[in-house]
Structure formats: structure tokens, C-alpha cells
Amino acid sequence: MKDYQLTWLAQRVTTQTTAVLVPFYNEAGDKTNFAERLAYFDGLAARHPELDIILIDDGSTDQPFAADTEKLTHLSLSIVTPNGQKIGALYTQIKALPHQYIIFTDFDTELQGLDNLPEIHDKLAADSASMGCYFSMRPTEGNTPAVQFQMLEYALERASYQFSKNEGSVPIMPGAGCLYKRPIIEALLSRHSGLRSGEDRETCLLGLELGYTVFYAPQIQALTQPPQTFHALLQQRRRWSQGFVEVALHKAAFYRNQMAEKTVLGLRHRIDMISVSIFLLMPLLLLMAFLISSTVGVALVLAWTALGFVETFWLYSKARDEFRTIPNHKLKLCLIPFARVLLEVPTWWRVIGRVCLNRLQGKGACA
């Protein structure tokens, strides 16, 4: 990893237990929202003096701290230069900290339930093999169809955590809401490839590869601001899918070993690969089916729809409590298979098409 320069603008590190790191890049364009987010994190730091909350400007070009920041009396502010693609900024900051634990969150995310951290600290201290935990990710703000879809999708993802808890694994520790032991995360980031789109997925896998475990901490919630439209959601999903491909290629050997050993993580990756293949082949297979006859085409559509319903409600049955705050969730879940097709098919055609084009042009697969 290249060298980066850390500069403190306001250093208010007062504890050695937990630091909350909030990296951001070029967020000052919307001055009102930027000021609101700064005020939120300063207020969070005031309510939790046992935490050191550090906002990290990752080499922004819009001069975010040019405005008056004297009212921010509880936050620590730092700048990392040049832009470190998030991983470089986090690693540089962590090396300068004395804390036992590091929380990662995003600039547009709010954390709730931080009073439960002592319980989590005790659990981590009692288990030397545990590298950290991931919080309950929940989209908030907005009542559009896109947001409703994401609320259900996030709840289904949280339901899937049930299958990994005994193994102590998870495919990804979300960068918007997770906690690591500081010595471990520092070591992991020193081994990181620096790839940006799937940086949190790769970080998690590096720890699992070294034999560490993780656990789910639902008592802490990370409330993230979701895309409000399906167009914005599609853009977000392309970035996420790009990250999946980056890590799948970069950690291919690790994934193969997990599948060979029949771990839950390996099974999850196999299912993900099958799902991607289905989304890629679906338009071609439907076209062929309808060319044979409309009956065959309709039968194929019904079969895929039934499969989507079975998968969705099977996950729902494993953790129904995750859905209790979503009104009319059973009815809305019936629409999930159709929404996923509309979202995933164009996403994966775009992402895999780009990977193939980069290969043909002699570039890196994820250039």
C-alpha cells in the first residue's frame, strides 16, 4: 500500500477503548446536508464521551473544512492525502490510534444502540478468535417503492445471518456498520489489495482466511439512507456487484477452498454464483422458450416465479422478527422475486459485460 499523509485538524482523542471512523470524499457539495451530517456526528460524540468519533476527509477536492467548524467541539477531524480510495485513508488513520476497538460507519449513516458496546467488548475480549461483529443494517428515510424494496431486502439479508452464526462467518462485514479489534483490522488492512468497490467484503474475507470469526450484533443498528428511486438503486447495485466480482476474482482460491470444505460461506458463494448465472441466462432462455412455444415460455416464467417465492419465504421463516417493523410485509414479500429480476438482470449484464470487455482489451477485469 502506498504512503499517505495524515493531518489532524482537530484532535480530541480522549479514550483508548473505541474509535468510530467516518471516512468521506467530496461530500461538501450540498452545504446544507454536509452541515447537518457534521452536526449529527458532533452530537453523537457529545452523547457518547466514551467514544472517539473521527471524521476522515479522504483527500477531497471540494475543501469540506474550509467553512467554519469551530462549533464542532466534540469531534476529531483529520485529512488523509492523497485520496486513499477509503482503504488507504482508514489504514493511515488506524495506525495513528491507540484504541482497542474500531467501528466503521459511513457519512450518511446513523448509529443507534451504542450503549450496548460494553456487552460486545466483553464478548470480544472473551474470545481471542473473534475479530469483530457486524451491526443490524437498516435503510431509513423515504416511503418510495424503491425504499420499501430495500427494507425487505435488508431484512432478508439479516435473516440469512442465521445460517452463518454457528460457523462464525459472513460474506461481508458492511463498512457502514461493523466493529473490529484494532490490532486485527490494522493487520488486515496492511494485506488489503486496495480495490475500492468491494473493500469491506475483502477485509472480512482476509480475516476469515486467517481463521478469525465474526458475530452478529443486532443490538446496534446502522441506519443508512437508501436510494430513493430504482434508477439510483440500480447505480448503487452496479457498484456492489462490481465489488462482488472484484473480490470473487481476487480471492478465488479462498472461495474454492471454502466450497471444497463445504462450509456455510462456501455454500453461500456457490449459491451467489448460481444466482448470477441465472440472471445472466434468463433473457436468453426465455427467448428460446417462447420461440419453441408460448406454453413452454409461460411454464418457464411460472417455474422461476415459484422458485423466487420459495427462496424468499424460506428465508422469511428463519427470522420473522427481522420483519416485524415493516407494515404488510407478507404481501410486499410477494413482489420481491419480480423486483429482483428487474434489478438484477440489467445489473449483471452490465457488470459482466464490462469485465469481459476489459479482458478483451487486456485490462484488469475490474478496471
Q: Which triple of cell numbers denotes residue 147? A: 425504499
> Rounded to whole angstroms, how far apart are CA atoms 228 and 197?
21
The pLDDT profile of the chain, 367 residues, written as one tens digit per residue, is 678 999 999 999 999 999 999 999 999 989 899 999 999 999 999 999 999 999 999 999 998 887 667 788 999 999 999 999 999 999 999 999 999 999 999 999 999 999 999 999 999 999 999 999 999 999 987 789 999 999 999 999 999 999 999 999 999 999 999 999 999 999 999 999 988 889 999 999 999 999 999 999 999 999 999 999 999 999 999 999 999 999 999 999 999 999 999 999 999 999 999 999 999 999 999 999 999 999 999 999 999 999 999 999 999 999 999 998 899 999 999 999 999 999 999 999 999 998 888 878 776 655 5
Residues 253 and 218 in one domain: no
- How many domains does the chain divide into? 2
Residues 224, 253 within the same domain = no
Which has the closest alpha carbon to 90: 13, 25, 152, 141?
Answer: 25
DSSP state of 66: G
Among 316, 196, 293, which residue's Cα sits nearest to residue 247?
A: 196
In a domain, 240, yes or no: no
Is 290 in the same domain as 213? no
User: What's the start-to-end Cα distance of the chain, in Å?
Assistant: 18
Residue 217 and residue 130 share a domain: yes
* Same-domain status, 42 and 101: yes
Please answer whether residues 147 and 141 qualify as being in contact, where contact means their C-beta atoms are separated by less than 8 angstroms: yes
Domain region containing 347: 249-361
Asked whether residue 142 falls in the same domain as residue 263, the answer is: no
Claim to verify: residue 58 and residue 175 sit in the same structural domain: yes
Question: 269 in a domain, yes or no?
Answer: yes
Same-domain check for residues 203 and 333: no
* CATH (domain of 142): 3.90.550.10
Q: Are residues 204 and 274 in the same domain?
A: no
156 and 291 belong to one structural domain: no
- C-alpha span between 39 and 75 (Å, rounded): 9
Q: Give yes or no: residues 214 and 311 share one domain.
A: no
- Taking alpha carbons only, the member of 281, 358, 335 closest to residue 153 is 335
The helix, strand and coil proportions of the chain, stated in percent and rounded to the nearest 5, come to 55, 15, 30
